[in-house]
Structure 1
Amino acid sequence: MNTLNSGCSIKKQLQPIIAAIFLLLILFFTQSCHAHRYYSHDDWIPIDTDLQNIREVRNMLSIGKALYISAVNKAGISKVWKIDINTSNSIAEAVDTGLKTKDFAYYLSVGAGSILYAFIGTEVYKLDITSNAAKWISIKDGLENGYVQLLYSDDKTLWASTSSGKLFEKDVANDNPWKEFSTAGLPKGKTFALQPIDNNLYLSRRYANQINIYYKNLNDGPSNWELFGSFNSVINHLGTSNQSLYVSMYTDLRKIEIAVPNETTPTSSYKNPLQYEVIALHSTDGVMYALTDTSEIYFDDGSSADWKKLSDSILDPDSNDSSFDGIVDFTITDNTMYVITKLGKILKLDLAPNKK
């Protein structure tokens, strides 16, 4: 009996040790599965399109199996193109019927389902890309005449911020006019960034000598905007991934847990914030990607306290082709990342084989 009891005692002592080892193994394999490998310059594949005579690309986004690009051509005419990425023939198809000709590009914004939005100045349009007769339709009814500065959509609502400091909302499911959205609790002024997260809407505005982030519960109509945090630099992008708010200032990109807003400056969850000017933010599959003004892309998958560089130089430093100078935007669809340069050159990176 003593031998039996001794054996049982040893097993009981080993159980927590075995459990701890098992947990460490799970964490190890989880980290490995979610971590990117480091890509080389050769992993980026140029896409041969017929985009030509472009003076400047405004932005690029993806819906389904297509890329949509907004730019101004060398004749000074604003254009929107569609490129089917599901075929080997990457011919750019003009999709600008209904848009007014401008001497600078529209800014594209993706909406719910198959809806694409474009805005510039006082003009706002929508395009149903599933329509056989794809034509941009003006949806400015109800908006004031001030310049539209920001446009953002989730599955239910389209928000617009104007140069007067007013906010507007519109139900994406119908064609009812815009209606003014409450700004109670907000200082007057320009909205620098706008980001819905779950049932809250976040935005940044200047107050005195600082930039504040405010939030409002979308399920509580009469509630005021509340202060989330204060910063010492202009916030030009807000992004979200894994219940965290990413705040991009000129040379400082920080990640903030959003579960407990407070009225003091939030503490970054990074020991080493990304200290480059960020041009664009995109998240997918729990990973946040940031394009910097150095034409490099960094990512955060939560596996360390540092932002990690995605690859070697995307653009060929030895190339004499000036059209490959300067990446201005990127998008991700179907495990593939696409980047576009100022003059319309596109490269892609397959993210599927991203395991170490």
Structure 2
Amino acid sequence: MEEKLMSRKKPSFPINERFNRYLAKYNRNTKIPVFYDDLLRFSGSIVVYDQHEEDTFWVRCYYPDHERTEIDNSLKQVYTILHSDGSDDSLEFLNIDAIDYCTFGNSKPFRIRVRNILNDSFTYFYVKKADASRLYGLEFEHLLSPHRINFLVYKDTLIEEHIAGIPGDVFIEDHLPECDNRAQTQIAKQFVKFNERCTVRLLGDMRSYNYVVIPTHDFDHVEYQIRAIDFDQQCYEGNLKVYRPQFFKENFKMVKLVSDKLEQSSIEQYRKEERSLLAKRMINTRSRYKELIRCMINDHVSSAQNVRSLRKDLYKYTTDMKFKRARTMGQILRTALQFVQRNYENVNMRRMLD
């Protein structure tokens, strides 16, 4: 199904000067001591297998001895810049346990495992090629989702924090069958809200391995959230279905869960809730949001054909004439978000007048 929905490969888009100024203004742009291309110089690798001895599509990289020390020190500095003040005070307590390279997907990221040798705790961060559409995706996630996200960019290299959670495909296969009725109903609700959030803000390709499920223990039960972890497909594809997770076969069990556990009236209620929350976040981050959307309106992060196709799909979906006048993906996204905000404000106005 996804071959029909999506292009085989999305090109990488450069970061223009206006977007660079925005990133610098909000402390996303900072000098770092290592580049993506530096990590490509590994001399060997071995396949990384999961606990079931299946290929994870990651390989563990090895570097010549004379380069490894310099690479490790640079990566430790990147970690302190990302998570602290960038000083050297804690470098002696950090160790780079592994540098893994992903052989699957568009971004081909490096995953860095960093361990604190004092308490043996560890975390990850990612080194990727900086791509404008991915950076827009990260920024819109930070502003318009329930979650904040930390990343840095320098020239053509992106440093991205790790988002903890159970990968969606693993959760669906191993954990979902063990959930009780209450938990499954809550997961269905969260999938509806996640689906709506992705559709409205045009974040595409949310197949099950591109999001995580986050369980949180709360008194006598577990709450669940669904969170995107891949922002490569922000406003690129021309098919509206790409921006609706429900249409990917990998999410079939989640879609079935929704139909089994929720009435249509509940589904509509949760969709409205999510659109209202999006509108509130736009209002609360108004100044920064407007700067970001202006950058995107004046940028090119897709093809003219995809723009024409998506605006046609969105006009059919909403009957909003403003989509017909959109000339860039930024204008399409602004129109989609304005549609949601306008509806929210109209409902609020009617409520106040009643």
**Max radius of gyration: which structure?**
1
Structure (1/2) with the larger strand percentage: 1
TM-score, normalised to structure 1's length? 0.25
Structure (1/2) with the larger helix percentage: 2
TM-score, normalised to structure 2's length? 0.25
